[in-house]
C-alpha cells in the first residue's frame, strides 16, 4: 500500500476559533487511526461528547487537518455502526477533503457536521474521544481536457460552483 497522507493538528488559535459554539473544554484526542491492519477507514474521534436527539445536527470541529499527496482525496463518512443504529448522516452525505484544502485559509481544519436521522426516536450519545466518523483515502483521475488552474484560498465549503 502507498503511504500518501499524514494527519496533523491545526493550531490552537484555529481550533478555538472554530470551536466557539461548542460547550466546555475539548478532550485531548489522538490522531485518526485504523482499528486493524485490514481496515480501510481511519477512525476520527470527537473532542467533545455528542448528544443528539432525533433530527438534531452538530458541526464538530475535529482539530485535524490532513496533508494528502496529489491524485488522492480523503472521503469522510459516519462510522458504520452509528449509521445502522441511529441513521447518523453527514450533512453533505460524503465529506470530500481535497489535497489543496491543507493550505486553505482555515489551515485545512476538518469540520464534520452530523445529523441524527433516527426514525425510531433514539438519542445519539458518543463520549469524547470515541470515533464518530471515518476517513478513507481514494485515488482519483481527471478528464483528458481538464483545464482547472485556480488555486484554493478559502476554507470549509469555499469552492462554490
Element holding 15 (H helix, E strand): helix 12-18
Total number of domains constituting the chain:
1
Residue 51: give the domain boundaries: 5-27+40-139
Give the domain CATH number at 97: 2.70.40.10
Residue 54 lies in a domain: yes
Residue 161 lies in a domain: no
Between CA 8 and CA 129 the distance in angstroms is 16
Residue 11 lies in a domain: yes
Residue 69 lies in a domain: yes
Residue 154 lies in a domain: no
Enter the pTM of the model: 0.91
Between CA 90 and CA 149 the distance in angstroms is 29
pLDDT at 148 over 90: no
C-alpha separations of 101 from 4, 64, 72, 108, 120 in Å: 15, 12, 12, 5, 37
Residue 44 lies in a domain: yes
Q: Taking the alpha carbons of 136, 127, 85, 62 in that order, is the dihedral positive or negative?
A: negative
Residue 147 lies in a domain: no
Express each pLDDT in 85-132 by its tens digit.
Answer: 889 999 999 999 999 999 999 999 999 999 999 999 999 999 999 999
Amino acid at each position: 500500500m502507498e503511504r500518501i497522507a499524514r494527519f496533523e493538528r491545526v493550531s490552537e488559535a484555529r481550533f478555538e476559533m472554530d470551536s466557539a459554539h461548542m460547550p466546555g473544554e475539548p478532550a485531548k484526542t489522538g490522531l485518526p487511526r485504523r482499528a486493524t491492519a485490514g481496515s480501510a477507514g481511519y477512525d476520527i474521534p470527537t473532542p467533545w461528547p455528542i448528544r443528539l436527539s432525533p433530527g438534531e445536527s452538530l458541526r464538530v470541529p475535529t482539530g485535524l487537518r490532513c496533508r494528502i499527496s496529489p491524485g488522492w482525496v480523503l472521503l469522510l463518512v459516519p462510522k458504520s455502526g452509528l449509521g445502522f443504529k441511529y441513521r447518523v448522516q453527514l450533512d453533505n452525505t460524503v465529506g470530500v477533503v481535497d489535497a489543496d484544502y491543507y493550505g486553505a485559509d482555515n489551515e485545512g481544519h476538518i469540520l464534520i457536521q452530523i445529523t441524527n436521522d433516527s426514525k425510531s426516536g433514539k438519542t445519539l450519545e458518543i463520549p469524547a474521544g470515541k470515533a464518530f466518523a471515518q476517513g478513507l483515502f481514494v485515488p482519483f483521475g481527471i478528464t483528458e481536457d481538464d483545464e482547472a488552474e485556480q488555486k484554493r484560498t478559502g476554507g470549509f465549503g469555499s469552492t462554490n460552483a
